[in-house]
Amino acid sequence: MQGILTRRVFSRKISLCSQRCFSQLAQKTASLQENDVTVPKMPPFDYSPPPYNGPTVDEIMAKRKAYLSPSLYHLYKKPVNVVDGKRQYLFDDEGRRYLDGFGGIATVGCGHCHPDVVEAIVNQTKRLQHSTVLYLNSAIADFAEALASKLPDNLNVVLFTNSGTEANELALMMAKLYTGSHDIISLRNGYHGNAAGTMGATGQSVWKYNVVQSGTHHALNPDPYRGVFGSDGEKYAKDVQDLIEYGTSGNVAAFVSETIQGVGGIVELAPGYLPPVYSSIKKAGGLCIADEVQAGFARTGSHFWSFEAQGVTPDIVTMAKGIGNGIPLGAVVTTPEIAKVLTRRNFFNTFGGNPVCTAAGLAVLRVIEKENLQENAHVVGSYLKDRLTALKNKYEIIGDVRGRGFMLGVELVTDRQLKTPAKAETLHVLDQMKELGVLIGKGGIYSNVFRITPPLCFTKEDADFLVDAMDYSVSKM
């Protein structure tokens, strides 16, 4: 009995301490008056979803527990049952509308259920859902041509896959075959997939199982906020040269990186980093792989591909997510010379490049161009970042605001000097924003970074609502 009482008292102390910590963080805000922050209102939207008559949240949760992998988890204390979507909005089983600030993890670019994309999928499905690439079909060829036109001239051979993991896995294998070397250099904090080679290239322990992952060397992450050299890209690049000289035979197969790390917490590589790194890799006989799975397809606004911001041209580009607006589709784009390595044996992908997915991909490219979504990502994304930066100046708990376009990160810390991750506070604000009608993601090695990757049709009114919801949630901690 005494033990139970002790645990209850201890539990109450922890609860009170947690409450005080949240209160103290709010008090650190410069001249904050809670009454000045009003409950934000969602912008109007002319759409109401049809009535939902499906299973309840409890019924779905029961089936997930019974039939799906225990590794699956969900966000929020009360999970959201998403049953409908339109443009930048999602709707739950009760018809409540949410502003989608996560875009299905940087996947929905054109907006949910865009009529042009839906029409392309439905029309192709009615005519021919699947055959095989052993037969001719215009859908795969038309999309490959359109996709190649968005890349530098020498990158014009496209290999289709079903996901980003598959695309990165294929790219790594091609680099090893082409160079005859086996060492891969990637970055700490990067994420490239969950198969054998891509898990090895990933630089976060939380995504790496205890299986053989040999032959990968992880360089210092050129993180302007937490990195040892701040924003000095050339100093970080020296570490790659050191890895080549001290950790390999002097020859490498490839260097692979995201230009803006998505899962890693929206970390944009330090300026001037990639040019000297690519130079070192080339001298060591290796290929340079740009992972555009999350940051590609106009998401960054300033460029169609994020690697362009660093002024480099990779040998291989991998992509997925935004390529199909939610359709399972990925791709590897490379040069004719590198692509020839796959002719040494038989290479085949049953579903890669199937008519329905490639029809959707072509429709996505056309929508991005027709609706000028890259420009919108640049203009509205810059406006959103400015507003988030103003919020950082208001609250001590916001340690950093970073990224570009519609790939933005907001990192929460309990101490700006020590940059102590504010894990509990991040979960709290995430949950409170959901209650206000805003869905965003979280990431980073410490799970203390808000990932803001909305559909590219996001408006300034949406941006205001998202920031106002964050402002209100932080002010009430």
Same domain for 344 and 281? yes
Q: How confident is the model at residue 73 (pLDDT cuts 50, 70, 90)?
A: confident
133: which residues sit within 8 A by CB, 6+ positions away? 140, 348, 349, 352, 353
Boundary (domain end) residue, out of 371, 394, 419: 371
Residues 206 and 327 in one domain: yes
Place 37 in a pLDDT band, splitting at 50, 70 and 90: confident
Whole-number CA gyration radius for the chain: 23
Q: What is the pLDDT of residues 383-421, one digit of tens each?
A: 999 999 999 999 999 999 999 999 999 999 999 999 999
Contact, 409 vs 267, CB < 8 A? yes
Nearest 5°: CA angle at 49, between 323 and 383?
50
Give the Å distances, CA to CA, from 138 to 145, 352, 354, 365, 370.
11, 14, 11, 16, 22
Q: Do 193 and 320 meet the contact criterion of CB atoms below 8 Å apart?
A: no
Name the nearest CA neighbour of 259 among 241, 246, 277: 277
Q: Does some domain include residue 41?
A: no
Q: Is 293 helix (H, G, I), strand (E, B) or coil?
A: coil
CATH code (residue 432): 3.90.1150.10
Residue 225 sits in the same domain as residue 308: yes
Pairing type for strands 216-219 and 184-187 reads parallel
Note whether 102 and 136 are same-domain residues: no
* pLDDT for res 4: 42
Residues across the chain? 477
Name the band, by pLDDT with cuts 50, 70 and 90, for residue 477: confident
In a domain, 147, yes or no: yes
Tell me: do 221 and 280 sit in the same domain. yes
Q: What's the total number of domains in the chain?
A: 2
CATH number at residue 148: 3.40.640.10
Q: Report pLDDT digits (tens) over 49-60.
A: 999 999 999 999
pLDDT digits (tens, 9 = 90+) for 178-200: 999 999 999 999 999 999 999 99
Residue that finishes a domain, picked among 328, 356, 371 = 371
Q: Are residues 307 and 218 in the same domain?
A: yes
8 Å CB contact between 215 and 356: no
Which pTM value belongs to this model? 0.92
User: How confident is the model at residue 34, as a pLDDT?
Assistant: 43
Any domain includes 357: yes
Residue 176 lies in a domain: yes
User: From CA 269, how far away is CA 242, in angstroms rounded?
Assistant: 19
pLDDT at position 36 is: 67
Q: How far apart are CA 233 and CA 271, in angstroms?
A: 5
Tell me which residue of 33, 12, 79, 25 sits closest to 423, measured CA to CA.
Answer: 25
- pLDDT more than 70, % of the chain: 92
Per-residue pLDDT for 28 more than 60?
Answer: no
Structural domain of residue 325, as residue ranges?
115-371
How far apart (Å, rounded) are the C-alpha atoms in residues 145 and 359?
Answer: 12
Clarify whether residues 162 and 104 are in a common domain.
no
